[in-house]
Chain A
Amino acid sequence: MNTSTKELTNEETLFSLASSDHSEADEREYVNYSYVRETLHRFLANRGAAISVVIIAVIVVMAIVCPMVSPYTFSDVNSRQTNLPPRIPGIEAFGIFDGTVGDVDAYTKAGCPDEYHFFGTDNLGRDIWVRVWTGTRISLTIAFVAVIIDVLIGVIYGLISGYFGGKIDILMQRFTEVLSSIPQLVIVTLMIVVMKPGLSNIVIALFITGWIDMSRIVRAQVLKFKNQEFALAARTLGASSWSIIFKEILPNALSQIVVTFMFSIPNAIFLEAFLAFVGLGVPAPIASLGTMINDGYKSAMVYPHMVVAPVLVLAVLMLGFNLFGDGLRDAIDPERA
């Protein structure tokens, strides 16, 4: 709490340049900072944002490294070691995560008293630790690819639709209305029939309607900004439409785009999980966090560890993205901080 109050006063000092600190601020070479560097500086000064960077970095590293260093693989079936509870070396001395069910040591019972499955094993005896991190990899890949495509399409669509207005806008809005009214499940099912099911299909399924929300938000932002003074000024000065769109409006809409982007990632992961829920997830034996959660949820009352592990990773990942999004927004748009 103390540090954050300090930061607050610092910031306030920055804004009240008229005060006695005036000369000091001048000497700080503050004016030499580029926009990006300044943004980065503000971003990292935000404690939540800094933590989020660490969280995301740790998860990404874990997702890459863990499956590589573990003695287990995500697909190795071991029918003698199914449904084992979590067991972690070191912590087991405290009586938690010691691989016991009630008073029975499940690991000894399964004939592997020397093994350690940090998150336990699933109903095929596969190591959940490795599966969770492999799943994180898959989920992140799916979400990122899908959301980046969303943003590219959505922003351009929204900018054009909002800025030019009139007939173009009406036409484009009707198009999105029609598109978003076609159930995703119909599209995905049809695609699975036409193509082989797999990662790329799920990505296509996610962005085929995913960009619509983005375009709608960008359009709303454009409507808000396009008649404001700075845009009018630019237009009066003879700036071209494209220059107004990309130089005047887009930067102002950026914070909203970032927020939406950050919301889109959990949305994409959840949507993938929904597809998994109706059976259209990634095919076995690979798993995404979504498919793992949906598989584990069916045994939640009997083997809670199967669902808790992926949910935990997912929640921490989302926490990271949300804090990251908040921090980025505040840094890009200091007025709002």
Chain B
Amino acid sequence: MNFKFGIPTISRKEFLKGAGATGLAFMAASLAACGSSSKSDAGSGSAPGATSAGTGVNIAVAGAAIALDPIVAGDSISMCIISNVCEGLFVKDENAEIQNGLCKEYTVSDDQLTFTLTLRDGLKWSNGDDLVADDFIYAWQRNAVADNGAADFQYQIEMAAIKNYAAVLAGKADVSELGISAPDKKTIVIEVEHPVPFLFDILAFTPWAPVQKAFREEKGADFALTKDDMLYCGPFTLTEYESSCNQFTITKNPDYWDAENVAIPSVTFKVITDTQQAVMSYEQGDVDYVELTGDLVFQYENDSAFTDTPGIFNYYLMINTKKKGLDNQNFRMALAYALNRDDICDSILKDGSTPVNQMCMVGLFANEAGKDFATASPQLYVYDEEKAKEAWKQAKQETDLREITIIYDEEKEFAKTTCAYIQDTVQKLLEGLTINLQSTPKKNRLDLEGKRDYEVIFHAWGPDYSDPTAILAMYRSDHPSNYSNWADDEFDSTYDTANTTDAGNADARWDELMRCNEICTEKAVCIPIYQTGLAALTNASTHGITAHITGIPCYYKFVTKS
């Protein structure tokens, strides 16, 4: 208000001087504020003797963490942080083998319906409290009732087939009647409805991490918002985390039960949004691990630091099988035969993606003998121009659909490229077919598929746990994610048998799920195209950084740095 009366009394020169000085002061102040705030972070954050410089590991990540609450976060970076600071009952080592985490030993009943797990001795929270079995029970119960509105992982309880969950969900039973209990401070008993072969795999996942009830209730709405609103029980503790910073650090936890085997003092996650910049940082030595995308994969292919493992997503053409014309199997088969998947992977994408001819992804699940489910499944609809034309000829007689629209997410560069390739090659191969492309914001695409209001979507799906059902479930007629509107009695019954009566019989289950995979591939419900690759550069001094296809990408307690 001074300003308003001050104007007429000062000369223009003074005013301009003042304005200039104010401007400079503002600039200096804003930058200084920026610096001081982060300095204080670094000061209070880093534990003495452990800095990110030393022999700590630096990881380039593409985005910031979404949340620190175990039942909220669904993105890989959040899950990575949470699972490394709040260890669960099980972990996965660098070979993706399940190892005991906070669980010391367990017994399984003969009918595979009751699991009794015993916790390790002397487990402590970072505030000094004992970590007890009830902390697990509380954490799982809050997941079951969607504490704080978080419903993202409720399905995990369902997948684990925890006894009474359906009743609890329907409001017919109290959450305490859920089939989980803690008879004493160290014992957890899990009762399931039917055998769940992948239960331990699920238990290694973030939403099954323990939460201390007293702490959760004390923090209220602030729970897990910042590093001070969390309790830690993992190999690391979160020491640098600001919602507005582009860097997070986890530092070795001296109170961790296996602290002597944690080799690195800290892990720093640097949010680098542009992959080319991330690679430059890698070349400068600022980061030890960077995941590559697009053409950079091709460029570094022959580098000694380059690794390429199967990625998590399958990309496919999702077809709305209720739309007129698209309900015609020959039409879908023509499309399925017309896609030159080798060409797409080797000549167009060149980013380590591999062709896929069935619904599951390589590396998702293997049986006792080590046979990979996806590789062992029947590989149908391999690119074949003649068969494509033949099916198209049939389809032309059976339906008058001549024009389809493929929707892709505008945010994805490779989606645009792949769809442009499909449009050009398939149109040339299938005479008389017109393919339109429509790029749309992701949220709009989700809305369209939710309303089942689309023809074809260039779609991706990633599994949440290591079992074929993580993929096949969505083809069951009543599954909420059955966006292709598809229903097949044989599929439904085979799928149900595999997950109920035969759930405990590994061999029968294997065959049945494979039959399910075959059915939906054969009917061309969705047309698989490729499985993403995961290409990365890892500094030669760093070992053991993994990118597991399901669950938590990496447990840093197994990482070493020389």
Q: Chain A interface (Cβ within 8 Å of chain B)?
A: 75-77, 79-80, 82-83, 123-125, 189, 192-193, 196-197, 278-280, 283-285, 295, 298-303
Q: Among B350, B424, B444, which residue has its beta carbon within 8 angstroms of that of A193? A: B444
Q: Contact check, B410 vs A298: say whether CB atoms are below 8 A apart.
A: no
Q: Among A75, A192, A302, A303, which residue has its beta carbon within 8 angstroms of that of B424? A: A75
Q: Contact check, B410 vs A75: say whether CB atoms are below 8 A apart.
A: no
Among the 9-residue stretches B31-39, B174-182, B434-442, B497-505, the one with 4 or more Cβ atoms under 8 Å from chain A is B434-442
Could you write out 16 A-B pairs with CB less than 8 Å apart?
Answer: A77-B425, A83-B295, A123-B295, A123-B348, A124-B348, A124-B420, A192-B441, A197-B439, A279-B441, A284-B419, A284-B439, A285-B424, A295-B416, A300-B276, A301-B299, A303-B295
Q: Among B279, B298, B425, B441, which residue has its beta carbon within 8 angstroms of that of A189? A: B441
Q: Chain B interface (Cβ within 8 Å of chain A)?
A: 276, 279, 294-296, 298-299, 340, 343-344, 347-348, 350, 409-411, 413, 416-417, 419-421, 423-425, 437-441, 444
Give the distance in Å from the alpha carbon of A124 to the alpha carbon of B441 in the complex. Answer: 23
Residues of A within 8 A of B438 (CB): 196-197, 283
Q: Contact check, B420 vs A302: say whether CB atoms are below 8 A apart.
A: no
Q: What distance in Å separates the Cβ of A308 from its nearest Cβ neighbour in chain B? A: 15
Q: What distance in Å separates the Cβ of B101 from its nearest Cβ neighbour in chain A? A: 39
Q: Among B296, B417, B440, which residue has its beta carbon within 8 angstroms of that of A124? A: B417
**Which residue of chain B lies nearest to A193 when distances are taken between CB atoms in the complex?**
B444
Q: Contact check, A302 vs B441: say whether CB atoms are below 8 A apart.
A: no
Give the distance in Å from the alpha carbon of A75 to the alpha carbon of B419 in the complex. Answer: 12
Known A79-B344, A301-B279, A302-B295; 13 more pairs at CB < 8 Å: A75-B424, A77-B424, A82-B348, A82-B350, A124-B417, A189-B444, A192-B440, A278-B411, A279-B439, A279-B441, A284-B420, A295-B413, A300-B276
Count, A-B residue pairs, CB within 8 A: 80
Q: Among B276, B343, B410, which residue has its beta carbon within 8 angstroms of that of A280? A: B410
Q: What distance in Å separates the Cβ of B299 from its nearest Cβ neighbour in chain A? A: 5
Give the distance in Å from the alpha carbon of A77 to the alpha carbon of B340 in the complex. Answer: 13
Residues of B within 8 A of A285 (CB): 420, 423-424, 437
Q: Among B340, B424, B437, which residue has its beta carbon within 8 angstroms of that of A76? A: B424
Q: Contact check, A197 vs B296: say whether CB atoms are below 8 A apart.
A: no
Q: Contact check, A279 vs B411: say whether CB atoms are below 8 A apart.
A: yes
Known: A82-B347, A300-B276, A301-B276. A123 touches B417 (CB 8 A): yes
Q: Contact check, B444 vs A80: say whether CB atoms are below 8 A apart.
A: no
Q: Contact check, A283 vs B439: say whether CB atoms are below 8 A apart.
A: yes
Most buried by B among A79, A192, A197: A79
Residues of A within 8 A of B296 (CB): 301-302
Q: Among A75, A76, A298, which residue has its beta carbon within 8 angstroms of that of B294? A: A298
Residues of A within 8 A of B279 (CB): 301
Q: Contact check, B421 vs A124: say whether CB atoms are below 8 A apart.
A: yes
Q: What distance in Å separates the Cβ of B315 from its nearest Cβ neighbour in chain A? A: 16
Give the distance in Å from the alpha carbon of A76 to the alpha carbon of B425 in the complex. Answer: 9
Residues of A within 8 A of B425 (CB): 77
Q: Contact check, A77 vs B444: say whether CB atoms are below 8 A apart.
A: no
Q: What distance in Å separates the Cβ of B411 from its nearest Cβ neighbour in chain A? A: 5
Give the distance in Å from the alpha carbon of A218 to the alpha carbon of B276 in the complex. Answer: 43
Give the distance in Å from the alpha carbon of A239 to the alpha carbon of B437 in the complex. Answer: 57
**Which residue of chain B lies nearest to A303 when distances are taken between CB atoms in the complex?**
B295
**Which residue of chain A lies nearest to B293 when distances are taken between CB atoms in the complex?**
A298
Residues of B within 8 A of A196 (CB): 438
Q: Among A77, A79, A80, A302, which residue has its beta carbon within 8 angstroms of that of B298? A: A302
Q: What distance in Å separates the Cβ of A68 from its nearest Cβ neighbour in chain B? A: 20
**Which residue of chain A lies nearest to B340 when distances are taken between CB atoms in the complex?**
A79
Give the distance in Å from the alpha carbon of A83 to the alpha carbon of B409 in the complex. Answer: 24
Give the distance in Å from the alpha carbon of A151 to the alpha carbon of B357 in the complex. Answer: 55
Give the distance in Å from the alpha carbon of A80 to the alpha carbon of B441 in the complex. Answer: 31
Give the distance in Å from the alpha carbon of A280 to the alpha carbon of B438 in the complex. Answer: 11
Give the distance in Å from the alpha carbon of A280 to the alpha carbon of B416 in the complex. Answer: 12
Q: What distance in Å separates the Cβ of A126 from its nearest Cβ neighbour in chain B? A: 8
**Which residue of chain A lies nearest to B277 when distances are taken between CB atoms in the complex?**
A301
Q: Contact check, B439 vs A79: say whether CB atoms are below 8 A apart.
A: no
Q: Contact check, B423 vs A279: say whether CB atoms are below 8 A apart.
A: no
Residues of A within 8 A of B437 (CB): 283-285
CB-based closest 8 A-B pairs: A279-B410, A79-B347, A77-B424, A302-B295, A299-B295, A284-B420, A285-B420, A79-B343
Give the distance in Å from the alpha carbon of A77 to the alpha carbon of B350 in the complex. Answer: 15
Residues of A within 8 A of B420 (CB): 75, 77, 124, 284-285
Give the distance in Å from the alpha carbon of A82 to the alpha carbon of B417 in the complex. Answer: 12
Give the distance in Å from the alpha carbon of A228 to the alpha carbon of B402 in the complex. Answer: 67
Residues of A within 8 A of B440 (CB): 192, 197
Q: Contact check, A298 vs B413: say whether CB atoms are below 8 A apart.
A: yes
Q: Contact check, B421 vs A77: say whether CB atoms are below 8 A apart.
A: yes
**Which residue of chain B lies nearest to A79 when distances are taken between CB atoms in the complex?**
B347
Residues of A within 8 A of B343 (CB): 79
**Which residue of chain A lies nearest to B346 when distances are taken between CB atoms in the complex?**
A79
Give the distance in Å from the alpha carbon of A34 to the alpha carbon of B494 in the complex. Answer: 89
**Which residue of chain A lies nearest to B409 when distances are taken between CB atoms in the complex?**
A279
Q: What distance in Å separates the Cβ of A272 from its nearest Cβ neighbour in chain B? A: 14
Give the distance in Å from the alpha carbon of A193 to the alpha carbon of B407 in the complex. Answer: 13
Q: What distance in Å separates the Cβ of A185 from its nearest Cβ neighbour in chain B? A: 9
Q: What distance in Å separates the Cβ of B13 from its nearest Cβ neighbour in chain A? A: 23
Q: Contact check, A299 vs B348: say whether CB atoms are below 8 A apart.
A: no
Residues of A within 8 A of B419 (CB): 284
Most buried by A among B299, B350, B424: B424
Give the distance in Å from the alpha carbon of A111 to the alpha carbon of B306 in the complex. Answer: 29
Give the distance in Å from the alpha carbon of A189 to the alpha carbon of B441 in the complex. Answer: 7
**Which residue of chain A lies nearest to B419 when distances are taken between CB atoms in the complex?**
A284
Q: What distance in Å separates the Cβ of B296 from its nearest Cβ neighbour in chain A? A: 6
Q: Contact check, A80 vs B347: say whether CB atoms are below 8 A apart.
A: yes
Residues of B within 8 A of A302 (CB): 295-296, 298-299
Give the distance in Å from the alpha carbon of A299 to the alpha carbon of B437 in the complex. Answer: 23
Q: What distance in Å separates the Cβ of B418 from its nearest Cβ neighbour in chain A? A: 9
Give the distance in Å from the alpha carbon of A76 to the alpha carbon of B438 in the complex. Answer: 18
Residues of B within 8 A of A124 (CB): 348, 417, 420-421, 424
Residues of A within 8 A of B347 (CB): 79-80, 82, 125
Give the distance in Å from the alpha carbon of A125 to the alpha carbon of B348 in the complex. Answer: 8
Q: Contact check, B294 vs A299: say whether CB atoms are below 8 A apart.
A: yes
